[in-house]
């Protein structure tokens, strides 16, 4: 009988919005499977942020006592370190797109009857999820550096973590679709990502900087993610006399509202994503 | 109804150029549904360029191609739903298990979720990987990976399965086992198979073969008809003086021999009976002799004037072929 054939022969339906959504989920799920299988490898990207937090934070404490008015340096750099953990992981996760191309798997995805936008969105969702997870791990250490687990703080920090994860992964995906070799990613990390980290105010207050450093800091998109995170932490942490530590970013002498900063980061992320989608759609196969 | 079933593959004056180079020079052919069709030729002959155009991965410069009646340019999506692909280079995610690779493929192709697991089990069983279902591909041998890719290519029940050099880099034993699986799959699934190869012996597995050289199809027929066309036996001689032997063959026997892979080669009816006469009156010392029934190698030799191995190492075309390969690589 043909009963067996009826069960096993399948049909490929026409593309619909639903099938595209399924493709996004599928690409995302693959990255999740890989992440869970290689957790340890991804975790190594937490080592550096944690060194900054605990080693630099503790080591420089005697130097900073004079100027922080008694505030713990670890508390001060904690919000920055959360952002940096997300930054590194998001870039490394996005780089997997380059490896997919180099190892041939990208071809399997691009030849499928799905739109390239869905593939990019799936990779973005995957990278951002992994990056946000790393941010949450660091956030969970708040108690060790004198930051309380206040509901308002945790909720706000989670929202900012997701925002940074989205924006940086969008940037990483754009880099990934623009370069031809996995090696080039190392250069981007050295020439773009590390400077971005240092110029974000993650390790120093953004008020009262030398002019050149202030300009570079204000031009750095990451600054606008670190700043609201720091204000959030300081609003809840037990720090008296914060002085200029959380003075925040100013434009023309006025403090930039946290929501504006967050909106700016979101807008930049969207723009980067838009360019990445267009580039990927136009790129030669794979 | 039956008269309206379109050919599985229909190619008309298909052409593709890369700058100055004409990689495919206006070829035409059709493949019937259910056929196993082979594209045979040396590296750089234009096989991969042709297959990439048929798979919608590369736009033709001119001419047209239809898969199951759908145009590869105008109806790209429809074509993609009809075809399965096994690439020359591996495209598996080795971090995932066999089943995870197949599931991912099924999801991307929009297969009904309820049918996926049964379909995966069936395909894994057909390629003999049922017991490896939940093992990571990382642990698979080259032959196992290839089988898994073939299972994946057929997972969504495509009407046409394209395989670009499916057995490249595999040892002869693995190659023949892959062919066993492919033939079994073709029979149970009824899929049309379109494949390229530069292994002469593999062409024997095909229903029909197109021999391609320098962007053109030089001949297209069944393996039997092609061999019958060559007819005569092949004689290969090692001699002390090849040039003198070529002259002697022409003068004394009226045979136009050629030098192929460093040996004097020619075709003659009744090769076994001819050899004693050769020893008696060639006049050039013979160091070795071999007589063989015609193979597809001979067919290739007959239609292109060179063996496939010589064609691949030919100095004159080396630059051309290197360029073709570079272009094929850049498109990935």
Q: Check if A183 contacts B (Cβ < 8 Å).
A: no
Partner residues linked to B17 by β-bridges? B22
Helices H / strands E in chain A, number of each: 16, 2
pLDDT of B172 = 84
Question: What is the gyration radius of the CA atoms in chain B, in angstroms?
Answer: 23
Instruction: Kindly state the DSSP code that residue B136 receives in the 8-state scheme.
Output: B
Token pair in block for residue B295: 């193979």
Among all residues of chain A, which has the CA nearest to that of B104? Answer: A26
- Which residues on A lie below 8 Å from B81 (Cβ)? 12-14, 113
What are the structure tokens assigned to A188, written together?
A: 């981007």
From B288's Cα to the closest Cα of chain A, the distance in A is 47
B89 and chain A in contact, CB less than 8 A: yes
Q: How many residue pairs bridge chain A and chain B with CB atoms within 8 Å of each other?
A: 99
B82 or B273, which is more confident? Answer: B82
Q: Contact B208/B35 with Cβ under 8 angstroms? A: yes
Classify residue B268 by its DSSP letter: E
pLDDT tens digit sequence for B104-159:
999 999 999 999 999 999 999 888 999 999 999 999 999 899 999 999 999 999 99
Q: What angle do CA A227, A231, A232 make, to 5 degrees?
A: 115
Strand intervals (E) in B2-152 = 9-18, 21-31, 36-40, 62-67, 70-71, 83-86
Confidence at residue B326, expressed as pLDDT on a 0 to 100 scale: 53
Domains and CATH numbers, chain B: 2-226 (3.40.50.300), 227-318 (3.30.70)
Are the CB atoms for A255 and A179 separated by under 8 Å? no
Mean pLDDT of chain B: 86
Q: Indicate the SS3 state at residue B237.
A: strand
Confidence of residue A209 (pLDDT cuts 50, 70, 90): confident
Q: What is the predicted pLDDT for the residue at B260?
A: 82
| ipTM associated with this complex | 0.87
**Per-residue pLDDT for B328 more than 60?**
no
Chain B residues close to A13, C-beta within 8 Å: 81, 110
Q: Tell me how close the Cα of B185 comes to any Cα of chain A, in angstroms.
A: 13
The full set of domain ranges for chain A reads 18-282
Q: What is the DSSP string of B13-28?
A: EEEEEETTEEEEEEEE
pLDDT category at B259 given cuts 50, 70, 90 is confident
Backbone φ and ψ of B153, nearest 5°: -60, -30
Region B184-209: what's the mean pLDDT? Answer: 86
Beta carbons of A213 and A198 less than 8 angstroms apart? no
C-alpha–C-alpha distance, residues A105 and B196, integer Å: 21
* Average pLDDT value for residue range B215-227: 90
Instruction: Return the residue in B51, B53, B91, B189 with the most chain A beta carbons within 10 A, the one to mutate for interface testing.
Output: B91
């Amino acid at each position: 009988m043909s009963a067996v054939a009826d069960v096993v022969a399948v049909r490929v339906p026409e593309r619909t919005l639903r099938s595209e959504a399924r493709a996004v989920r599928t690409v995302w799920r693959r990255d999740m499977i890989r992440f869970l299988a290689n957790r340890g490898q991804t975790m190594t990207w937490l080592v550096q942020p944690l060194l900054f937090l605990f080693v630099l934070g503790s080591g420089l404490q005697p130097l900073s006592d004079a100027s922080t008015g008694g505030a713990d340096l670890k508390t001060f750099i904690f919000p920055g370190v959360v952002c940096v953990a997300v930054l590194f992981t998001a870039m490394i996760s996005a780089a997997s797109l380059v490896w997919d191309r180099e190892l041939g798997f990208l071809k399997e995805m691009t030849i499928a009857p799905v739109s390239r936008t869905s593939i990019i969105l799936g990779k973005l969702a995957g990278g951002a999820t992994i990056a946000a997870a790393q941010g949450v791990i660091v956030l969970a250490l708040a108690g060790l550096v004198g930051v309380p687990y206040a509901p308002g703080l945790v909720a706000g920090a989670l929202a900012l973590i997701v925002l940074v994860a989205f924006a940086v992964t969008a940037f990483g995906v754009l880099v990934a679709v623009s370069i031809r070799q996995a090696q080039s990613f190392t250069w981007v990390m050295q020439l773009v990502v590390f400077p971005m980290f240092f110029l974000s105010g993650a390790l120093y207050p953004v008020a009262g900087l030398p002019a050149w450093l202030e300009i570079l800091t204000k031009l750095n998109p990451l600054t606008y993610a670190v700043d609201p995170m720091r204000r959030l932490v300081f609003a809840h942490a037990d720090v008296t006399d914060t002085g200029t530590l959380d003075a925040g970013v100013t434009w023309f002498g006025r403090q930039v509202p946290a929501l504006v900063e967050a909106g700016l980061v979101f807008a930049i992320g969207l723009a980067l994503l838009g360019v990445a989608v267009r580039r990927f759609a136009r790129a030669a196969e794979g | 109804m039956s008269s309206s079933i379109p050919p599985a593959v229909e190619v008309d004056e298909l052409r593709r150029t890369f700058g100055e180079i004409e990689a495919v020079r206006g070829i035409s052919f059709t493949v019937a549904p259910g056929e196993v069709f082979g594209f045979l030729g040396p590296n750089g002959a234009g096989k991969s360029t042709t297959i990439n155009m048929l798979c919608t991965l590369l736009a033709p410069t001119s001419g047209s191609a239809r898969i199951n009646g759908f145009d590869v340019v105008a109806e790209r999506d429809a074509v993609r739903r009809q075809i399965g692909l096994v690439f020359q280079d591996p495209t598996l995610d080795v971090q995932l298990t066999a089943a995870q690779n197949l599931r991912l493929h099924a999801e991307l192709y929009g297969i009904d979720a309820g049918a996926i697991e049964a379909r995966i089990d069936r395909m894994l069983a057909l390629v003999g990987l049922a017991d490896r279902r939940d093992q990571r591909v990382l642990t698979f041998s080259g032959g196992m990976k290839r089988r898994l890719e073939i299972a994946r290519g057929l997972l969504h029940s495509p009407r046409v399965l394209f395989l670009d050099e499916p057995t490249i880099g595999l040892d002869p034993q693995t190659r023949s086992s892959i062919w066993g699986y492919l033939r079994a799959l073709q029979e149970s699934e009824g899929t049309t198979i379109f494949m390229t190869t530069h292994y002469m012996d593999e062409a024997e597995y095909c229903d029909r073969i197109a021999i391609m050289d320098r962007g053109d199809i030089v001949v297209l027929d069944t393996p039997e008809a092609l061999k019958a066309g060559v007819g005569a036996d092949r004689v290969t001689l090692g001699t002390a003086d090849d040039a003198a032997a070529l002259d002697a063959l022409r003068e004394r026997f009226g045979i136009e021999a050629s030098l192929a892979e460093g040996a004097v080669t020619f075709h003659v009816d009744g090769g076994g009976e001819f050899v004693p006469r050769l020893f008696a009156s060639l006049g050039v010392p013979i160091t070795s002799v071999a007589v063989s029934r015609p193979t597809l190698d001979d067919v290739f030799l007959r239609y292109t004037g060179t063996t496939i191995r010589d064609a691949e190492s030919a100095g004159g075309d080396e630059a051309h072929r290197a360029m073709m390969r570079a272009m094929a690589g850049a498109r990935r």
